[in-house]
Copies of this chain bind each other. A is one copy, B any other.
Amino acid sequence: MRVEIVAIGTELLLGQIADTNAQWLGEQLAANGIASHFHQHVGDNHERIIAALRVAMSRSDAIITCGGLGPTQDDITRAALADLMGVELVEQPELVSVIREMFTGRGREMPENNLLQAQVPVGAAVIPQNRGTAPGLICPVGQHTFYAVPGVPYEMQEMFERAILPDLLAKAQANGERAVIKSRVLRTWGAAESRLAEVLAERFVDLENNPRITLAFLASGIEGIKIRITARGTDEANAAALIAEEESRVREIVESTCGDVFFGVDDETMEYAIAKLLIERGETLAVAESLTGGLIASRLVNVSGASNWFRGGVVSYASEVKFDVLNVPVGPVVSGDAAEAMAKGVRELLKSDIAISITGVAGPEEQDGQPVGTVFVGIAIGVSLTHVQLRVPGDRQRVRNYAAIGALNALRQHFGG
């Protein structure tokens, strides 16, 4: 059972909206063990919709179309499906009453345009609407099934869960195809994607013909490299066990060569890792930032409950602010000593248990004889001071983003977490 998603709407082609429907449906299908190998976007054009649907039929068993079921002139999915089925569109009196009642219920008169939404291709089944006015359709075409749902995510999702997913699962079950698919994402920071690939190359080869476990890398820009483990299990427990086994294998392989690079799983961010460590230790944090200009602090406050452990920070962008407010000795400000003095200064000023600081060169020019991308992170744990030096790549904006997550990672590694 292979399902293709065809999102219909010129606004998608013009980039006026992102196709979050395909994303949501893709996630649901994968979670339910249903294969989906292709997605398409096509505009509100009769011939091109039919062309896209024919392509989908040539390579998939079932097709979910999103959009084009509204009440306006450019909502033409119904007509395209009728053409593909080789049948007429017929107005269904029961649908007319339902739609009319929706308007009456809101104290409004139904515009005549909405009658379009009561038209159904002969032989199609209706998916009643629970949230809007456009009904969905289930249209058989030979061995293929088309499911047409509205493009409004809130309406689409409800119809998918209520009517489409059960139908797909029943079909897959009848074919004896169904597995339970689970995945888990391991998040790393500090190792290049190519380095991780090299380290895991042998494991990738071992898994090549294994239908149960798949590994993949997801590059997430400044948020590090993610390693995704996907398992096809016979049931929930089996899939979970496969994941757990593969996870410990991957961690062992990577940690033995790349060191402490795993900072979280799935949706856990670097700041979440820091929050966990601080809560465990029962300590508070303050930050002093130069080149990152507040980015580290703004990441930390994203963690819910940050007020329990985050005191605040000083953005010491001008050198005099470092000297006057943080008591950094007058001199070069891009150095390990300056970073340590900043951490000490902000810890004392904001009365926290722990402090980190960051100073460095975002570019475009070098500073204090240091090249662009040089970053010093100061760490104050009580009165004890230390610093770490980082080298980060990219232009001004990226140097800054990498430096911010890199500094948090330095604190995490310092704690051994």
Chain A interface residues toward B at CB < 8 A: 10-20, 22-28, 30, 36-45, 48, 51-52, 55, 59, 70-74, 102, 105-108, 110-114, 131, 133, 151-154, 183, 185, 192-195, 197-198, 201, 204, 216-219, 221, 228, 230, 287, 289, 291-298, 300-302, 304, 306-307, 310-318, 320-321, 324-325, 349-351, 362, 364, 373, 391, 393-398, 400
Residue of B nearest to A291 (CB): B301
List 9 other contacts, CB 8 Å, given A17-B23, A71-B194, A293-B306.
A10-B216, A18-B22, A39-B39, A70-B193, A73-B197, A152-B221, A294-B297, A310-B317, A313-B317
Complex CA gap A294/B293 in Å reads: 7
**A315–B312 CB distance below 8 A:** yes
Chain B nearest CB from A179 CB (Å) reads 15
**B302–A310 CB distance below 8 A:** no
Complex CA gap A51/B27 in Å reads: 23
Complex CA gap A417/B40 in Å reads: 42
Complex CA gap A351/B217 in Å reads: 48
A397 CB contacts on chain B under 8 angstroms: 302
How many copies are assembled?
A: 2
**B217–A70 CB distance below 8 A:** yes
Complex CA gap A19/B17 in Å reads: 10
Chain B nearest CB from A374 CB (Å) reads 10
Partner of A111 from the list B30, B192, B391 (CB cut-off 8 Å) is B192
Chain B nearest CB from A368 CB (Å) reads 14
Residue of B nearest to A362 (CB): B301
**B15–A30 CB distance below 8 A:** yes
Chain B nearest CB from A209 CB (Å) reads 14
A112 CB contacts on chain B under 8 angstroms: 198
**B318–A311 CB distance below 8 A:** yes
**A311–B321 CB distance below 8 A:** yes
Known contacts A37-B48, A217-B72, A312-B315: does B197 contact A113 (CB below 8 Å)?
A: yes
**Top 8 A-B pairs, shortest CB-CB distance:** A294-B294, A15-B27, A293-B301, A15-B26, A294-B297, A39-B41, A71-B194, A294-B298
Chain B nearest CB from A315 CB (Å) reads 4
Complex CA gap A194/B99 in Å reads: 12
- Residue pairs across A and B with Cβ atoms less than 8 A apart, 30 shown, are A11-B216, A11-B228, A13-B37, A14-B230, A16-B218, A18-B19, A18-B22, A19-B39, A37-B42, A37-B48, A38-B40, A38-B48, A39-B39, A72-B197, A108-B192, A291-B301, A293-B301, A294-B294, A294-B295, A294-B297, A298-B298, A301-B315, A301-B317, A301-B400, A304-B364, A307-B317, A312-B317, A313-B314, A314-B314, A318-B350
Residue of B nearest to A24 (CB): B15
Known contacts A27-B16, A294-B296, A294-B313: does B72 contact A194 (CB below 8 Å)?
A: yes
**A316–B321 CB distance below 8 A:** no
Partner of A314 from the list B192, B304, B315 (CB cut-off 8 Å) is B315
Partner of A106 from the list B108, B289, B296, B391 (CB cut-off 8 Å) is B391
A320 CB contacts on chain B under 8 angstroms: 311, 351
A310 CB contacts on chain B under 8 angstroms: 317-318
